[in-house]
Amino acid sequence: MDLYKKTAHELSSLLQKREVSSEELTRSVLDRINKVEEKVKAFVTVTGEQALEQAREIDEKRARGEAMSPLAGIPMAMKDNICTKGVTTTCASKILYNFVPPYNATVTEKLLEAGTILLGKCNMDEFAMGSSNENSGFFPTRNPHDLSAVPGGSSGGAAAAVAADEAVFTLGSDTGGSIRQPAAFCGVVGLKPTYGYVPRYGLIAYASSLDQIGPLTKDITDCALVLNVIAGHDPKDSTSAPVEVPDFTRYLVDDVKGLKIGIPKEYMGEGIDPRIAAYLKQAAAKLEELGAVCEEVSLPHTEYALPAYYIIASAEASSNLARYDGVRYGLRVEAEDVISMFCKTRSQGFGEEVKRRIMLGTYALSSGYYDAYYLKALKVRTLIKRDFDQAFLKYDCLLTPTSPTTAFKFGEKVNDPLAMYLSDVCTIPINLAGVPGLSLPFGTVEGLPVGIQFIGKPFGEGTLLRVGYALEQNTDLTKPKAQMEGVI
């Protein structure tokens, strides 16, 4: 039995019936990592021995009859910008190459308390800045469906690990689409929760008003199970929302009758691959067949989202990354005086994309330009949020493509940053508005997965899981994995 191929809920059932042990399961996934990791390169760090030790502890607890969470004994991995006590957390940057956190992020703590097994840390674009994983400070990750194509970014390692069965599920972070776009490129489910729903304590900050942690999973049921564990108020995070968290598995019902779904016309125009647009219409038709009502809607300020995002995100990054100066963390390049040490450390420690965004953000915040750029971008953000508020007066959720194209080839956009930024054009407005977005696999184009995106009201994750689950139950287009056989 290839245990590594199964979903978390399938494995949970086997573990609860004592048909397999967590140690057997963990060994199966570690064997899979040994077999395919050289081709995929999804991991920065693999903690094999530690994982087996954790698995044996869970098996002993189960043998004693202790109460267990549904995810107890399930092997998972995390993006390498989520702090893990005693395990290197690099942000895929040379400037943090040796940083070992003395504490766990809140989500790490929650998952370990639930009994999950940490397999290691996944590769990413440096400091979560990128859309292809080509900006990792160490090595690029490859798309398991086509090794010449990128896995997306910045959670490309986390998405590729799930797609290649190197982890049962992973956690990523999403600042402008960094969970959903790689989920679409790799053919897995990816959820960016409502801002404030999942604690950010212990997430190494890129742009603090936009960053969110969320799950990458093999199906919608697993997504609900992981969200059950990681969502909830955290007093250590001042932006954490004090709201009640439901049992998300309640929303796993094959019923969308009466749901009103809006399809924003601004997401279906120029730049969207017509084959992806055709899949989106097919998804809408299937939902209508199941009893939902789909209608065109307008979000008129969508065209301003991309420039506003890159000003706001870069401004926050220029502030957040000021702490990496060779004094407190990671790399220090020795020099004749302190100022020279700062300059040499940051010059050698940061990659080109990180430097580009620090300079852009510093410029936007500088005296004389703040009102013209940063303040104006914040006003645009308010208009975009109002667009969504207006749409959600009538609709339960919105349906759009996740990305305008399928995964592109390595090197195709690396010398054209603006073209690279456009690959997040369908996901960025959701972060600016702070609402949740779910990417679901839906068909393939030339062997590469297509993702469709459902956008919800604030704290409306349950509705997104409901429509995603209904599509999973009624079409095979949500299961692109068979296309991967023979590639890895």
Catalytic, 154? Answer yes
Q: Can you say whether the dihedral through the CA atoms of 285, 286, 289, 291 is positive or negative? A: negative
CB-CB contact of 100 with 86 (8 Å): yes
Distance, in Å, from the CA atom of 338 to the CA atom of 330, rounded to the nearest integer, reads 16
**Helix (H) or strand (E) segment spanning residue 293:** strand 293-297
Rg (CA), the chain: 21
Q: Which of 131, 178, 403, 423 is catalytic?
A: 178
Which residue, chain included where needed, has tokens 């979903």? Answer: 7
- Pairing verdict, β 169-174 and 75-79: parallel
- Pairing verdict, β 169-174 and 260-264: unpaired
* Peptide bond before residue 21 is cis, with ω within 30 degrees of 0: no
Q: Which of 12, 28, 131, 154 is catalytic?
A: 154
Helices 220-230 and 461-474, packing angle to 10 deg: 160
Q: Output the six-digit token pair for 83.
A: 């702090």
Distance, in Å, from the CA atom of 285 to the CA atom of 263, rounded to the nearest integer, reads 12
CA 430, distance to chain mean position in Å, is: 13
Which residues are CB-neighbours of 163 under 8 A, at least 6 positions away? 143, 144, 145, 151, 186, 187, 188, 481, 484
**Helix (H) or strand (E) segment spanning residue 170:** strand 169-174
Range 83-94 burial, b when 16+ CB lie within 10 A, else e: bbeebbbbbbbb
DSSP code of residue 87: B
Which alpha helices (H) appear in 351-404, and where do they start and end?
352-365, 376-391
- Amino acid identity, residue 22? S
Distance, in Å, from the CA atom of 488 to the CA atom of 484, rounded to the nearest integer, reads 7
Distance, in Å, from the CA atom of 297 to the CA atom of 290, rounded to the nearest integer, reads 20
Catalytic, 178? Answer yes
Q: Can you say whether the dihedral through the CA atoms of 476, 479, 483, 485 is positive or negative? A: negative
- Amino acid identity, residue 66? E
Q: Which of 6, 79, 121, 413 is catalytic?
A: 79
Which alpha helices (H) appear in 290-372, and where do they start and end?
305-320, 338-349, 352-365
Q: Output the six-digit token pair for 152.
A: 């997306």
Q: How many C-alpha atoms does 283 have within 13 Å on its Cβ side?
A: 31
- Give the catalytic positions in this structure: 79, 154, 178
